[in-house]
Amino acid sequence: MSEPIFAAHSRCECQASLRADLDAQHAVLRGSAFLRGRRELAPAQAIHVDDVRFDIHWACPFCTRNILRSFTTAALQRVRPAA
């Protein structure tokens, strides 16, 4: 699996911290959730990644909610430079 270039962060209603690691095309490489000292995998997918504004959907492993958040490409956190 390639290294992430961007990271998107949000919160679930249960207060878990959600993270999605994205590649250069904004496809999700992996999703995770962190709550009360525990980190779990959180299945995630990006929707409409060709648009400036796109959505990321997480399945929270702590409360089982389906979380949908909107992001803009300019607001993503770069975690490493593009190759």
Reported as a single tens digit per residue, the pLDDT across 8-56 is 999 999 999 999 999 989 999 999 999 999 999 999 999 999 898 999 9
| Strands 77-78 and 66-72, sheet pairing | unpaired
Instruction: Indicate the domain borders of the chain.
Output: 6-78
Give the tens place of pLDDT for each residue, 38-48.
999 999 999 99
**What are the Cα distances from residue 83, in Å, to 4, 41, 65, 72?**
11, 27, 35, 21
Q: Give the span between the Cα atoms of 26 and 53, in whole angstroms.
A: 11
pLDDT at 75 over 90: no
Note the pTM of the prediction, 2 decimals.
Answer: 0.88
DSSP state of 3: P
